[in-house]
Structure 1
Amino acid sequence: MDGARDRNQPPFAASVDLDGGHMSLQGLAHHALYTRHLKTVVGGLVLVTLVMLVMYTTPTPTALILSAANSLRDTGNFPKPYVSSGKAGYDVAASLPLRQEKEKEKEKEKRKEEGQVERGIPEKAFGLGSQDRESWRSEVLMAGESAEAQCRPQHHVMFLKTHKCASSTVQNIFLRYGYTNNLTFALPGAGNYLGNPGLFKAGLIPKSLLPPSGKVDIFAVHTRLNFKDHSSVLHNDTRWVTLVRDPATLYESLFNFFHLKNGYNLDLSSFSSQPMARLMELPRYGGKFGKNQMLFDLGYSDNMSVTQLRQAIEELDGLFDLVMVAERMDESLVLLRHLLCWSLHDVVVFTKNARRQEVKPTLDPQTRQTLRELNSADALLYDHFMAKHRRAVLEFGVRRMADEVSALRSLRDEYFEDCGAREVKGKDSTLKFKEYSGLVSSYVTSNNSDQNCLMLSLPELPLVDTVRRKQLKVLEEMRAPS
């Protein structure tokens, strides 16, 4: 066949002229073979070099995840201050001035203290320290820990309590911890509010309840965020924590718990048939409760442009060390304990001020969508921090998180049993300490001689009163002439 050749012959096995000379078929074959071997050697060297570069320069998936998470935790780049435009009759939220000065002071304090860990979730857990607990739980908590790198428990916390986000449950943790460790609190003279609907002002704290330094260890009562005034009563190394919840579920809870139907003359089930323009014009009930409740509690106007809203979310992301998610409560409690370097015992809690499942109405999809649209600013806020929570769990380790959540739930069950706790549904005139509403459950314990058991079972107001009485007594003794 024309153009065909023997496959066993070297390629181009014909007499050719090279640089004006002549090479035989055999010589050309040797030349081609030499060239082929040379290419093989060079190709092999190039391949080895590429493999070495990939092995030593390509980041692993874990490294990529940690790098991204560390960027999220970077607290050195805070957004520019934003002043929200509140409605007439409300304080204007000079929401969050730059925190660089605060961070500089914090770094100075941190350098003075040995062993201080950097902001964010500490890598090392704080051990249980209880020998009577099951050994498997201890193994879960201590796995991967290094004695020489243990963190130091944090005693300075700002907990921004958002309405109807399971914040009373988390508040119980801070009140118990502070009371047990003789810490000071930001407290009103009565009740459990320090600013709202107006923004917080430092002067709202009575002098009789303020330590001589003018600084408190823990802020955990209802307030409306005002960064400047809040910072003036807090230590520079304070950890900032808050909570978010799905906005449609939050609004339903807010609407029914505080009986907004009476103020609006409108039932929640009819919201989906109402023009959105009418729903948007509903006033804040009592000046406190209404649409976009989380952003309102966080010090912003409930009506912002998209640009202002995105800037506000950036500011909040930079301000808070941890934004817990109500729908991921146990995971959030694990992250909280690592942020503060507390033990698992410290974050055990019985649910507070939450309606029982049987009295919660079921939202149909159309009403849920209407409520999400009505609370669209809160929806953007929630989606942002839910995504951040998922990244935090990924960084923490999915399996490690599952193990700690299991240990936390087991420990909670043990406390419930050891305290002799029982749930009381609805109103009970025989109870000494009652919850706000008959829609929520109360707890009583048979082991009232145990301080922790008693505080675990107390509703919010009686517990705040208990903390306030102790603080007044301690401060009076400090001021008394010797």
Structure 2
Amino acid sequence: MRYALYNNLTVALPNLEHEFDKYNRKSLFGSSLEAAYQVFASHGRWDQAEMEKTLGPGAFYLTMIRNPLDQFQSFWDYYQQYLGSFVVGVNLPHISLTQLVQAIKEGKYLQEWFRGVMLHDLGLEKHQITDISAVQQKIDEIDKHFQLVMLAERFDESLILMKEALCLNMSDIVYIKLNSRHEDRKSKLTEESKQILEDYLYSEKMMYNHFEQKFNKKLKDFGQERMESELKLFHYALETIKVKTSSYLMFVMS
């Protein structure tokens, strides 16, 4: 958004909510069918045909995915007070993470919130999440249309690759880290629970493994020494903006 503002680009925004459901041009804020947009940077379900109508030919497509186990833990930390209501034989809304994983293993968990979230956002229908053929077809489709699939676990390296691909400056990608969970507050999974979830989240793990391999190939092509040098400069820029922001906040508060 900052880059779009500084470069006077038109951004596609949702009409009513803070995100799109399944994207189509009619859900754009203040849009007309003839309007030209240069940037789409919102959360929503992907529809390639509709996106091409919005951005036109030659657009650069990128997205970000996350290790499914990490995403499951994050969902759990956020929604845990509600999940017991969806487990057979549990009368309380709150259950432990271990209890939830065991319920998944025994087929007693009745809500599919955590399963196939990323694939669904990328256009796969919920009933196809366990259809390996459909999953592979979706992976191939993403591979065809997206020039860069970033990894949340390799966020800074992802930004450097994005900067290179889009010919951005370092100042275009600096950020301030907000709303991140502290390590001591993150839920822990046993090795047994991890294996159960690996099976449960197999489709998304399949997608993640594919794009992790492609990501590592891009890193290799970029060059290790070059990436280390870029990251050193980037982290210096992040620390600088953090200090400046902190000083500004202290000035405002005083």
Q: Do both share a fold (TM > 0.5)?
A: yes
Q: Structure 2 CA distance, aligned partners of 1:232 and 1:446?
A: 46
Q: Is residue 401 from structure 1 mapped to residue 221 from structure 2 by the alignment?
A: no
The verdict on how the C-alpha distance between 1:415 and 1:200 changes in structure 2, with shifts beyond 3 A counting, is same
**Aligned equivalents of 1:202, 1:212: Cα separation in 2:** 7
In the aligned structure 1, how far is the partner of 2:104 from the partner of 2:10? 49
Do residues 283 (structure 1) and 87 (structure 2) align?
A: no
In structure 1, the partner of 2:62 is 241
Match in the other structure for 2:165: 339
CA distance in 2, matches of 1:220, 1:275: 34
Amino acid at match of 1:283: Q
Bigger Rg over Cα: 1
Name the aligned partner's letter for residue 406 of structure 1.
K
Cα deviation per residue 1:40-62 (whole Å; 9 max; x = unaligned)?
Answer: xxxxxxxxxxxxxxxxxxxxxxx
Cross-structure match for 1:305? 131
How far apart, in 1, do the equivalents of 2:23 and 2:76 lie? Answer: 24
Name stretches of at least 5 consecutive residues in structure 1 with no aligned partner: 1-174, 422-443, 449-482
Tell me the distance in 1 between the aligned counterparts of 2:149 and 2:245: 30
- Count of residues paired in the alignment: 242
Distance across 2 between alignment mates of 1:272 and 1:183: 46
1:204 matched to 2:59? The reply is: no
Query: Does the CA contact (< 8 Å) of 2:68 and 2:201 recur in 1?
Result: yes
- Kindly state the Cα deviation for residue 283 of structure 1 after the two structures are TM-superposed: 2.8
Matched with 1:364 is: 190
- 1:216 counterpart residue number: 37
Partner of 2:90: none
* Gaps in structure 2 of 5+ consecutive residues: 87-92
Please give the alpha-carbon distance, in whole angstroms, between the structure 1 residues aligned to 2:50 and 2:96. Answer: 38
Deviates more, 1:392-401 or 1:366-375: 366-375
Match of 1:445 in 2: 249
Q: Deviations over 1:152-176 (max 9, x none)?
A: xxxxxxxxxxxxxxxxxxxxxxx11
User: What's the offset of the Cα at 1:413?
Assistant: 0.4
Residue identity opposite 1:296 in structure 2: H
CA contact (8 A) 1:226 1:299 kept: yes
Separation (CA, whole Å) in 2 of partners of 1:185 and 1:447: 33
**Which amino acid in 2 is paired with 1:405?**
L
Write the distance in 2 (CA, Å) between the matches of 1:257 and 1:367: 19
Tell me how far apart the structure 2 counterparts of residues 348 and 263 of structure 1 sit (CA, whole Å).
Answer: 41
Q: Give me the TM-score of the superposition, normalised by structure 1.
A: 0.47
Residue number in structure 2 paired with 1:274: 103
Distance 2:138 2:106 in 1: 24
SS in 2 for 1:323: strand
Q: Which amino acid aligns with 2:41?
A: A
SS at match of 1:316: helix
| C-alpha distance in structure 2 between counterparts of 1:419 and 1:276, whole Å | 47
2:120 equivalent to 1:296: yes
Determine the C-alpha separation between the residues in 1 that align with 2:202 and 2:224.
30
Amino acid at match of 2:27: L
Return the structure number with greater helix share: 2
Report the residue type matching 1:267 in the other structure: S
Aligned to 1:415: 241
